[in-house]
Amino acid sequence: MSSSSALIPALLKGGQGQAAGRVATEALRATFDLDVADLAFTQDEYSLNSVSGKVSLTDGRTFFFKFHHEEGEEENVTEYYRAQLLSDAGLPVEVPFAASTVPGTQMVLYELRREPRMADVCADLERAWGAGATLPPRLLAARRALDARTGEVMTETLGPAVASSAGAAIHQLFHHRLVDRSARALGGRYRAYYLEDPAFAPLADKRWRVNGVEYRSTLAELATQAMVLLAPAALAALPVVTAHGDDHHGNVWVMDGSPDDDNCPGNGGGGGGGPTSPPRAPTLRLFDPAFAGTDLPALLAPVKATFHNALAHPFWLYHPAEAAQRSTIEVDRGAEVVELTDDAHLSGLRRQVLDSAAELVWAPLLAELARRSWLAGNWRAIVRSALFCCPMLVTNLTASHRSEPVRLLGLARAVAAGSEPASGSDEVSRFLDGVTP
């Protein structure tokens, strides 16, 4: 039982769905004293470190369940699913019906929802409209309302450094995936994904020129810098905030209205007004706060949402086969420089999301840090290192199922996230310039 959270994804990956179902059923029975009638897993490209599905009970109730597993969680993660502290802080968050926070049996039960997630709505819009996709006005207003509240909570809870910050669960998303057990050398996912891949070695020390912009740092240099700058002990010397920490759009429900009430093609069943009633404006609600806390490093807390919701093109990260079909990618692998040109640019939708995060989350947070003389002199390098880790460590960008151009596109975007340009500017540098106090 102690290894159910690790065993279930391993069985599913090995094609043993029935065995995984038996383990999950027994875990739910034993942990929550539930009489399970039926259980089904769901496929979810946005939850790469968890297994989810629907469980029906003999009394007729049905719940959404999620098992979470991280490599080394027994050493690095002490508590998951801290929804109540976010609710107490004033954030709109789904509080689970039941949760287990014991390492090895990390699982949660939520009320079954049929509303779409923001990730699905955005993906439908971008599939339908490509770079011209934008958020419908009411959905954009909902996105901005959530950002405004997120930014307010961060500035309201901003406090001085605390020792407990070094143990915050959010480090699992960054440093713990980047280093070995000693935390003094590159390892973990980074080693498994890249250092053990012979095809990565020739790329690690090359410079990159992407869409005409030349970058200062190599992939190897960026990984080493992130290992130093994102070390929990180093970040524990910096201010903290209360935040979700993993609030990408895969962890956001679209509630209380129809997301397509403005002819948005992304409606997933959110419900709306009848033919004689005006449609209700949607609201956004967070869920799955696996890495939430009251002691998250302030510079780390907004990073995951910023990268995944805005800076990441929707297809090269999660749907590489689609990216290969939809994008034109030209690559020249020189002896010292990889030159890449592509048309996988940010959609209008992602620019809207980025502008909202910049205005309502990052700018007020950084301004308050500067006002209190708490803003680290190297804050920009810290943020860039965390942005670099987002694509590199959430999935294997050089996996064999990715075509060669899409592999290089993903690595190029990671470089652009982590490195300052040697000449010119790009989306990331303009974003950082815009939020600098």
Closest CA to 255 of 89, 135, 94, 83: 94
315-336 core/surface letters (b: 16 or more CB in 10 A; e: else): bbbbbbeebbebbebeeeeeee
- Which has more confidence, 259 or 281? 281
Tokens of 140: 């954009």
What pLDDT does residue 426 have? 94
In tens, the pLDDT along 294-341 reads 999 999 999 999 999 999 977 999 999 999 999 999 999 999 999 999
C-alpha 55/C-alpha 429 separation (Å) is 45
**pTM of the predicted model as reported, rounded to 2 decimal places:** 0.86
Burial class from Cβ neighbours inside 10 Å (0-12, 13-18, 19+) for residue 155 reads middle
What is the residue-averaged pLDDT of the chain?
89
Tokens of 255: 């509630």
Considering the chain, what percentage of its residues have pLDDT values greater than 70? 88
The band of 377, judged by pLDDT with boundaries at 50, 70 and 90, is very high
**Local structure of 108: helix, strand or coil:** strand
What pLDDT does residue 302 have? 98
What pLDDT does residue 49 have? 62
C-alpha 155/C-alpha 367 separation (Å) is 9
Residue 184: CB partners within 8 Å, gap ≥ 6?
none
What domains sit in the chain, N to C, each tagged with a CATH number? 4-111 (3.30.200), 118-435 (no CATH)
What pLDDT does residue 203 have? 97
Q: Is the pLDDT of residue 281 over 90?
A: no
Q: Which amino acid, 242?
A: T
The band of 102, judged by pLDDT with boundaries at 50, 70 and 90, is confident
